[in-house]
Amino acid sequence: MEDDFYGTIKFKNGEEVFARIAASEEVDRTMLVVHHPITVAEIKSRAGTVGYKVEPWLKTTREDMFLINMDNVLTLSESSDVHMIKMYQRFVQDTDRDNKNQPKLSRKMGYIATVNDAKDILEKLYKSSPNKKP
């Protein structure tokens, strides 16, 4: 595995991510090892102030490392933009801190129900409430 670097990956499907990247040469292909990939969107306020919205690339997983086949990559660019790197590092630190403070979910934490079951239970509670308004 080669040394890692900060960079932007543009995929063939149009997605763009910023991450800490390392290349891994396999026998028949090159893979990218991508750590904490993020997407960045520029946000403009009504007053003209510009800010950035930083989000994880994949929102439905807590994994922080991904393998990407170079066949899916349109272009790859190493970044030396200090502002972007600091923004990325801050996001990673905040995410790691948040993940450490969150307890693992378990059935002991509460009841699991379907939306319809929960709706029925709440309606029964409301109808039996002495303080309800007509």
CA distances from 125 to 54, 111, 114, 117, 134 (A): 41, 16, 17, 12, 15
Instruction: Give the model's pLDDT for residue 29.
Output: 85
Q: What is the pLDDT of residues 39-73, one digit of tens each?
A: 999 899 888 888 888 999 998 888 889 999 999 99
Q: What is the pLDDT of residues 7-38, one digit of tens each?
A: 999 999 999 999 999 998 888 888 999 999 99
Please name each of the domains of the chain with its CATH number. 5-127 (2.30.30.100)
Count of Cβ atoms closer than 10 Å to residue 134 Cβ = 2
pLDDT at 130 over 60: yes
Question: Is the pLDDT higher at 86 or at 1?
Answer: 86
Specify the residue for token string 């929960």. 118
Q: How far is Cα 36 from Cα 92, in angstroms, rounded to an integer?
A: 7
Question: Are the C-beta atoms of 62 and 95 separated by less than 8 Å?
Answer: no
Question: Is the pLDDT higher at 5 or at 100?
Answer: 5
- Return the SS3 of 73: strand
Total-model pTM: 0.68
Question: Is the pLDDT higher at 45 or at 1?
Answer: 45
Instruction: Give the model's pLDDT for residue 33.
Output: 93
